[in-house]
Chain A
Amino acid sequence: MDSHTPSSMLSPLAPRADFPLLAANPGLHYLDSAATSQKPTAVLDALRGFYETANANPHRGAYALSAKATDVYHEARATIARFVGVSDSDCLIFTRGTTEAMNLVASSWGRANVHAGDEVVITALEHHANFVPWQQLALASGATLRVVEVTANQSVDLDQLRSVVNHRTKVVAVTHVSNAVGAITPIEEVVRIVRSRSSAVIVVDGAQAVPHLPVNFDALDVDFYAFSGHKLLGPMGSGCLLGRRALLEAMPPYQYGGDMIEWVRDTDSTWNVLPHKFEAGTPNAADAVGLAAAVTYLTRLGMVNVRRHELELLALAESKLAALPGITVYGPPVAQRSGVLSFSMTDVHPHDLATILDQHGVCIRAGHHCAQPLMRRLGVSATARASFYVYSDESDVDALVGALQAAQSLFSAAS
């Protein structure tokens, strides 16, 4: 906490000094953490530490250094498993991120289990990473794709989900938190609805949830859950798929190669045990160690505190934006959103907003947020999105509001 900040101001939850990029750019208001987060020194040190003290190929050598690399890789898995409530850490598969995890499930489990006549259920709120793999699976298998609509405030329409899920439903893929508008899906309710109507497998996109909310995979009682490391202070190219052991064991491998095999005969092969069956090739041990450092950092902050901090900033930002004319905010009320403020301004295109805000040192995302199905339903091509994280504070909100006022006056200048 910054002791110079008046107590009435909202301070960052994590000191900006912990984040070298932010510390080096005091005038920067980074409000694009839903796209990717900044990285604390603890994570950068862990990456460097792996390469300086433990770098060898895990699972390979009969020498001490390789054994050390193997140990730290496995410790990283255990640390991350504890963070997301996975009691059986063999059921945590390292991936390049949420996108790869979703493709893994749709390809491996999907092709083996989804056939013509079956139904695949997704929602209009999904990021393309949890939309396109299922759409393509349906096209390839001849299954019927059912897209559950969103409510008037862009949350998953649970009533429609109730009417769509039936005994033909093989899989329900849904986002935990919308990247485009921040809407939080009540996963417990989704599970009740799906389990009471079908034996469908439930797949959850947690890319925007794990960084911002306390998440416990075992307690959620879903079948697959995916998230990305880079959105939760960790390295780019890191991420995880969590799955039920019975499903993972029955699934064919996603990729073939080293590490994932048991025996390779000339005409066939057998597979390694979990989690290795799904981690072909040299594992990305360094980024796993970096991701473990990130979740350790977040654990120290406390995910309940992270959630509270973002809610406070979001409420503050929304009240200040309400004072500006011509602003439309998308998504449900603040309490049902992650730290995402998705909005549009009358007569100013989101791209123009992003360019003008950039001049004020305010980084926001402008675009379709990889959620074109949702944008179509909103009737817009794009929105502007500001998103908060642990290092955000009231000065970021004020800079956003000030820059929006500047954009408004530029575009409404006397013509």
Chain B
Amino acid sequence: MSGKASPASIAAMYQEALLAHHRAPHNRREMSDATSSAVFKNPVCGDEIRVFVRVDGGQLVDVSFTGRGCSVATASASMMTDALCGGSVSDALATADAIDRMLATGDADVALPATLSPLRGVTPFAGRHGCARMAWQALREALA
């Protein structure tokens, strides 16, 4: 079929940088002193990701996640915790917006922290955008 993913785009999505986060996710743990947490459930697949945050003076002192998901959902959550820990809440929300924009437009010029660049490989797979966005949607709710 013409809509089929190319071997190159498959390799770009399942690059080692993404798979490494899937095999050994960072900050996958509950957070007993979280100031907030929120869960996002994907009704399409039944997967769910819960994101914990500890906010102090507008800064994200700690970010973690729990739950189950595919490689893209898990890796996205793992990279997110790396990218946002120690930054400001406003920067975190701006990054969440940038992820949405990058997926929606496929625009390679959307600026992202280097930690998140493996997520650019998900762009050609519209059916997987929802997987990449799960943790970010939970984050938004936790920070709302």
Contacts and interface: CB of A to CB of B under 8 A. Distances in A.
Interface stretch (B25-33, B80-88, B125-133): B125-133
A381 B47 contact: yes
B112 to A, nearest CB: 22
A78 interface: no
Interface stretch (B2-10, B92-100, B101-109): B2-10
A372 B46 contact: yes
Interface in B45-70: 45-48, 68-70
Nearest to A21: B1
A359 B68 contact: no
B10 A356 contact: yes
Contact of B45 (A25, A355, A382): A382
Contacts of B68: 381
Contacts of A372: 46
Contacts of B142: none
Given A356-B10, A367-B46, A368-B46, A415 B125 contact: no
Contact of B10 (A347, A348, A355, A382): A355
Contacts of B127: 355
Nearest to B42: A381
B1 A411 contact: no
Interface string A371-415: 010010000011000000000000000000000000000110101
A236 to B, nearest CB: 19
B47 A25 contact: no
A17 B51 CA distance: 51
A130 to B, nearest CB: 19
B123 to A, nearest CB: 13
Given A361-B1, A413-B19, A415-B19, A351 B45 contact: yes
Contacts of A349: 47, 69-71
A355 B128 contact: yes
Interface string A331-348: 000000000000000011
Contacts of A350: 45, 70
B5 A359 contact: yes
B115 to A, nearest CB: 18
B45 A352 contact: no
Interface residues of B, number: 27
A375 B44 CA distance: 13
Contacts of B48: 381
> For chain A, what secondary structure do more than half of its interface residues adopt (helix, strand, loop), or is it mixed?
mixed
B71 to A, nearest CB: 5
Given A352-B71, A355-B125, A415-B19, A382 B4 contact: no
A173 interface: no
Contact of A351 (B10, B24, B131): B131
Identify which of A25, A347, A352, A356 gathers the most chain B CB atoms within 10 Å of its CB.
A352
Contacts of A274: none
B16 A355 contact: no
Interface in B126-144: 127-128, 131
A69 interface: no
B40 to A, nearest CB: 13
Given A352-B71, A381-B45, A382-B47, A361 B4 contact: yes
A415 B23 contact: yes
A299 B16 CA distance: 51
B20 to A, nearest CB: 6
B39 interface: no
A67 interface: no
A28 interface: yes
A358 interface: yes
A356 B70 contact: no
A25 B1 contact: yes
A366 B45 contact: yes
A66 B131 CA distance: 51
B5 A352 contact: no
A370 to B, nearest CB: 11
A28 B2 CA distance: 10
A359 B1 CA distance: 10
B70 A352 contact: yes
B72 interface: yes
Contact of B46 (A28, A375, A413): A375
Nearest to A376: B46
Interface in A63-82: none
B14 A367 contact: no
Nearest to A367: B45
Nearest to B5: A359
18 contacts: A347-B23, A348-B71, A349-B47, A349-B71, A350-B45, A351-B128, A352-B14, A355-B5, A359-B4, A359-B6, A359-B7, A359-B10, A381-B45, A381-B46, A381-B47, A411-B71, A413-B16, A415-B19
Given A352-B70, A352-B72, 13 more contacts: A349-B71, A350-B70, A351-B45, A351-B70, A351-B72, A352-B71, A355-B128, A358-B4, A359-B4, A359-B5, A361-B1, A367-B44, A372-B46
Interface of A: 25, 28, 347-352, 355-356, 358-359, 361, 366-368, 372, 375, 381-382, 410-411, 413, 415
Question: Which 3 pairs, one residue from A and one from B, show the smallest C-beta to C-beta distance?
Answer: A349-B70, A381-B46, A351-B70
